[in-house]
Amino acid sequence: MENNNNKKVMLSGIQPSGELHIGNYLGPLRHWPEMIDEFDCYFFLADLHTITVRQDPAQLRKRVLTLIAQYIACGLDPEKCVLFIQSHVPAHSQLAWVLDCYAMFGELSRMTQFKDKSAKNADNINAGLFTYPVLMAADILLYQPDFVPVGEDQKQHVEICRDIANRFNGVYGDVFKVPEPYIAKVGARIMSLSAPESKMSKSQPEGCVFLMEKPEDIMRKFKRAVTDSDTERCVRRAPEKPGVSNLIQIYAAATGKSYEDIESEFDGMGYGKFKPAVGEAVVETLRPIQEETERLLADKAYLEGVYRAGAEQAEYIASKTLRKVYKKVGFLPR
């Protein structure tokens, strides 16, 4: 990636904690290629963050590799952005320690995600879960980004990152750029096929269509999708018809057709025709991504090349910031 331009810098981390599904793809992921054109982008797999919850080591390794392949297949061109793995760049852990000493126990205790996660993992409330936002602040501040695109659930973490950066800058001068959260184009908000009142999520696999799912399984899930009990059985968006509205939204996202066109296309046809049509549209949308992912996964040397080059580029920038920080806090250079 060239750095000799005036593009703003954007950085985002992705937790390799689950399989990607069409909610991720038809939502934010589809817009990433546009972001790459507009910004200098850093994307990394936040594997250090992921071990705050117990992971199966073999699965974690496999998932990180699969995700890299999937992101590339979805259009994250590694020639145009820096794509790397967090644990490959030691500066993340190193800066996190320094920032731990500039983050306050009280403010970390107030993080909503910490409270939620400790409630959910009562048998494993580890210190990493507590200092998670500090590592995230380190991830961000190392690259001096202008923007950090995050979803609603991570806004508080970007806020604390800004607080930590300001606190540090207050003592040592302008060391860190204080980033802005960036409300990325979210695209469609895809709901569960089996419980359309809640967001599509891997924890409800029957209502969730995974990116790598087989066509016959995709078709089955769509044919079984919960619609509504109203008698008109008409393909029309309405607040009291969350299941059908969701299917219309998925069909629109997959085909690029407008809601109005879809409603007239299926006018008078009922759900029996509509549901498989949505399934087929999704199968066709996913087909090239699945094929490209498989092709990439069969080419381990290429993937290794991508994440090694990514780590090198990231490390170059990250280590510069870390050196500056070490100097400012008074560490004697080696």
- Where does this chain bind ligand TRP (CB under 6 A)? 11-13, 15, 46, 49, 136, 139-140, 148, 150, 154
CB-closest chain residue to ligand TRP:
13
Q: Which is nearer to ligand TRP, 13 or 279 (CB)?
A: 13
For residues 235 and 263, is the Cβ–Cβ distance under 8 A?
Answer: yes
Q: Give the shortest CB-61-to-ligand TRP separation in angstroms.
A: 19
Q: Which is nearer to ligand TRP, 15 or 204 (CB)?
A: 15
- Per DSSP, the three-state class of 50 is helix
Q: Which is nearer to ligand TRP, 199 or 220 (CB)?
A: 199
Cα–Cα distance, 259 to 253 (Å, whole number): 10
Q: Give the shortest CB-76-to-ligand TRP separation in angstroms.
A: 15
Q: Give the shortest CB-15-to-ligand TRP separation in angstroms.
A: 4
At 311, which amino acid appears? A
Q: Which is nearer to ligand TRP, 156 or 204 (CB)?
A: 156
- Per DSSP, the three-state class of 21 is strand
Task: Cite the beta strand spans of the chain per DSSP E.
Answer: 9-14, 40-45, 82-85, 147-149, 180-182
Question: Could you give the maximum distance between any two Cα atoms of the chain, in Å?
Answer: 77
The DSSP 8-state label assigned to residue 196 in this structure reads T
Q: Which is nearer to ligand TRP, 140 or 296 (CB)?
A: 140
For residues 175 and 324, is the Cβ–Cβ distance under 8 A?
Answer: yes
Q: Give the shortest CB-324-to-ligand TRP separation in angstroms.
A: 20
DSSP string of 214-276? -HHHHHHHHHT------SS------TT-HHHHHHHHHHHHHH---HHHHHHHTTTT-HHHHHH
Q: Give the shortest CB-286-to-ligand TRP separation in angstroms.
A: 23
Tokens of 66: 């699969």
Q: Provide the annotated active-site residues.
A: 117, 199, 202
